[in-house]
């Protein structure tokens, strides 16, 4: 997809996830809105995946370490045909496989996640396996910034650099907010880019809500031979919905009928602006 199509698609994914959360009366709204551009670029522009063959041996892998923000992922997988789009209506209902965190019973989901801090460790294992098998697929892992307080993240970061896993690409959704407020108030992270560099990663900082910047950086990864790549994606929590942006309350706020209508109206207008650019 070109830039206009990617922006249009991201707006549609935001509309889909808001309706899904509203219907289910549960979900992590702000986080899924902030990562929608990242996942849109990965799935529609960068990664090698096949909805008809989800276990294709040479596919690129995606690990949602930031597992609570699963709504955008489910909407994208359904839109791409990994499972029927109608199944989104069962999100978080009794007996549904579309539970509130990634579930590997869902085609296209590599592993169950949600206990923060574990995704990167699994990605490192996958990266090492690919090297041992002589495979050239890449492993992308999306982490939250609040998740950076987990010690397992830094153990995995050391291991990836030690084994020279340039097939591992970590992405941090750096929206600077977590469930209990600002990341810097809860557990200060800065200088976060310098920390990752000091652990042996090649760090690329960009606007994580700009699909053209994301596309260029993710296509270019690995950005240094023999080094894992860390994409520091600076995003806006609640992106795309004016009254939700940078509001901690929207971390897992379910939109009311009126809020949903206003949000869908804003996103529909954004999609039209993109279409006619």
pLDDT band at 1 (very low <50, low <70, confident <90, very high): confident
pLDDT at 168 over 80: yes
CATH topology of domain 3-275: Rossmann fold (3.40.50)
CA distance 195 to 158: 11
Taking the CA of residue 140 as centre, how many other CA atoms within 13 Å lie in the half-sphere pointing to its CB? 26
- Please, which residues have CB within 8 angstroms of residue 69's CB and are 6 or more apart in sequence? 28, 31, 32, 34, 35, 144, 173
Q: Binning pLDDT at 50, 70 and 90, where does residue 276 land? A: low
Question: What mean pLDDT comes out for the span 235-264?
Answer: 94
pLDDT tens-place string over residues 123-156? 999 999 999 999 999 999 999 999 999 999 999 9
pLDDT in the model for residue 29: 95
Q: Which residue has the tokens 């549904």?
A: 96
Domain range annotation of the chain: 3-275
Give me the pLDDT at residue 274, please. 66
Q: What pLDDT shows up at residue 182?
A: 82
């Amino acid at each position: 997809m070109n830039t206009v199509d990617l922006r249009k698609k991201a707006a549609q994914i935001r509309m889909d996830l808001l309706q899904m959360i509203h219907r289910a009366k549960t979900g992590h709204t702000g986080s899924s809105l902030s990562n929608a551009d990242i996942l849109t670029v990965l799935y529609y522009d960068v990664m090698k995946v096949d909805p008809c063959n989800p276990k294709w041996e040479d596919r690129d892998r995606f690990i949602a370490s930031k597992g609570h923000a699963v709504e955008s992922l489910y909407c994208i997988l359904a839109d791409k045909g990994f499972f029927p789009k109608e199944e989104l209506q069962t999100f978080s209902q009794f007996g549904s496989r579309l539970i509130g965190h990634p579930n590997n019973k869902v085609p296209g989901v590599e592993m169950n996640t949600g206990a923060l801090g574990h995704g990167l460790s699994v990605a490192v294992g996958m990266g090492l396996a690919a090297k041992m098998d002589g495979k050239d697929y890449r492993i992308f892992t999306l982490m939250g910034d609040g998740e950076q307080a987990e010690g397992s993240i830094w153990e995995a970061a050391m291991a990836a650099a030690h084994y020279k896993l340039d097939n591992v690409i970590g992405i941090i959704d750096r929206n600077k907010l977590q469930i209990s407020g600002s990341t810097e108030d809860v557990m200060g992270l800065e200088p976060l880019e310098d920390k990752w560099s000091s652990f042996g990663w090649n760090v690329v900082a960009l606007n994580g809500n700009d699909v053209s910047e994301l596309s260029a950086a993710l296509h270019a990864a690995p950005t240094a031979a023999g080094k894992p790549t860390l994409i520091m994606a600076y995003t806006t929590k609640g992106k795309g919905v004016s009254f939700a942006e940078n509001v901690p309350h929207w971390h897992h706020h379910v939109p009311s009928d009126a809020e949903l209508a206003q949000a869908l109206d804003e996103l529909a207008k954004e999609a039209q602006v993109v279409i006619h650019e």
